Amino acid sequence: MPKQTALLVIDMQRDFCDPRGYAGQAGMDVNVLRRPIPAIQALLDAARAQSMMVIHTREGHRPEILDCHPSKRRRSLRAGAEIGSQGPLGRLLIRGEYGHDIIDELQPAPGEVVVDKPGYGAFYQTDLELLLRASGIENLVLTGVTTDVCVHSTLREAVDRGFNCITVSDGCAAGDPALHEAALQTILGEGHIFGEVATSAEVLAQWSARP
């Protein structure tokens, strides 16, 4: 039911979806990361039309970077895009910078929740679970980037917390398409251990069939 379902749009930020941002600086194929945009737009339109809860997440850190583990910062340095360093869109993955915000095509509508997270999973050190429980949410539809990291981390956290999850195959992307496919196959292993995988068209059809 719409009132028990939330659409999660994970990390569709300029730092990941603009070639001048973090992902581009780290050598990832941003064109691949932008492929889910049309599918997410369609899901957003449908969710909003049904007054479904929509939650956007943004990965990033405080300006003084005290909430970024040194090990994570070292990994970003090895990737060629050190968190907190200056880039064309501002300091990479730092809250308040232009690159940290959500891309123009998927900007949150008034009243939609934006969760800022310092880690890969959206439940880690955030109030996401509190927001979902308080709103009576039982079902999550996951979209965003990247399938193998932030989407999968959030999915695993959600499943451990008892949420029913659908990951939208064309609503997600990874820098490496092979990792995207592997992440989707992992969801379906062991009797769909991490929930369901569906296309955006299948999800929209399911939503439109609701009374």
| Annotated catalytic residue 29 | no
User: Which residue of the set 101, 117, 148, 172 is catalytic?
Assistant: 117
SS3 category, 87: strand
| Annotated catalytic residue 11 | yes
User: Which residue of the set 11, 15, 148, 170 is catalytic?
Assistant: 11
Angle, alpha carbons 81-105-173 (nearest 5°): 55
How far is Cα 200 from Cα 55, in angstroms, rounded to an integer?
Answer: 17
How far is Cα 85 from Cα 82, in angstroms, rounded to an integer?
Answer: 6
Q: Using the 8-state DSSP alphabet, how is residue 85 labeled?
A: S
Of the candidates 99, 30, 91, 146, the one whose C-alpha atom is nearest the C-alpha of residue 82 is 91
| Annotated catalytic residue 176 | no
H helix runs in 69-113, sequence order: 70-78
User: Which residue of the set 17, 18, 68, 150 is catalytic?
Assistant: 150
Beta strands 86-87 and 90-91 are antiparallel
Q: Which residues are catalytic?
A: 11, 117, 150
